[in-house]
Amino acid sequence: LRVNLKSLESGLSKPPDPAERDAQFRHIAKKSRGYAAQDLPVISVDTKSRELIGPFHQPGRRWSREPTQVFDHDFPSDAEGVAIPYGVYDPFRNHGFVSVGTTRDTSQFAVDAINTWWSQFGTRHYPRADRLLVLADCGGSNGYRTRLWKHQLQHAFSNRFGMQVSVSHYPPGSSKWNPIEHRMFSFISRNWAAEPLRNYNTVLNFIRSTKTLGGLRICARLNTKDYPKGTKISDQQMQQVNLRHHTARPKWNYSISPS
């Protein structure tokens, strides 16, 4: 018996050259080790799948005397709300933080999550750090083409904390190799498998109780702030971003320094 193998690239008009993709993976690995050797923070960030709040079906199986009753269809109109988990994962400390949003997954929401992680955990673990390395996917709220992502990193993080932010994106179609995916999000999904997310406390408790024998620990916080959709950043605003593209694969590697 065989299952389908997800190996065909889709949604890409021109997939990255394999040599270029391999070089980016090697660049990320080398840079991450360099930051860790200097006791500088490295974080992997991403948004987990959007979840409906209420008695909705959750994939997976769980031991119980009776099956859990859930809705026969996942209609958003039946939900009490939505949960949008944005994660920040420190691969060298094996520690994660998840900001559970209730409105929209925007770049402002993403950078707010990084701000909260740095204020509550980063400053404590890396008191002398003046640089931060962010590993991210190529799309979504932290995509390399997203102007608002760079603008928010400049004004809401770099200027606020006086830190240089270096960003390295995984090539398109490679998000599953982002450390947060297979070292944190996968264990959260396993922890709440077959368990309906009936309310926000249920979501937070499942995230906080996710642990592994390797020492994974996760903190979570509910973010009820309303994030507007469709915020545009003008050319003039982008000129205010202290952005420096790196020599190697500049579209995927760049730094933002305090103004």
Give the gyration radius of the chain's Cα atoms: 19
Q: pLDDT digits over 107-131, tens only?
A: 999 999 999 999 999 999 999 999 9
- Residues 211-232, mean pLDDT to the nearest whole number: 96
Give first-to-last CA distance, the chain, whole Å: 58
CA distances from 144 to 56, 66, 115, 240 (A): 34, 47, 19, 17
Q: pLDDT digits over 32-72, tens only?
A: 999 999 999 999 999 999 999 999 999 999 999 999 999 99
Instruction: For 88-103, give one letter per residue: b (16+ CB within 10 A) or e.
Output: bbbbbbbbbbbbbbbb
* pLDDT the model gives residue 17: 85
Contact partners, residue 36, CB within 8 Å, separation at least 6? 42, 92
* pLDDT the model gives residue 75: 96
Mean pLDDT of the chain: 95
* pLDDT the model gives residue 11: 66
Q: Is pLDDT of 16 > 80? A: no
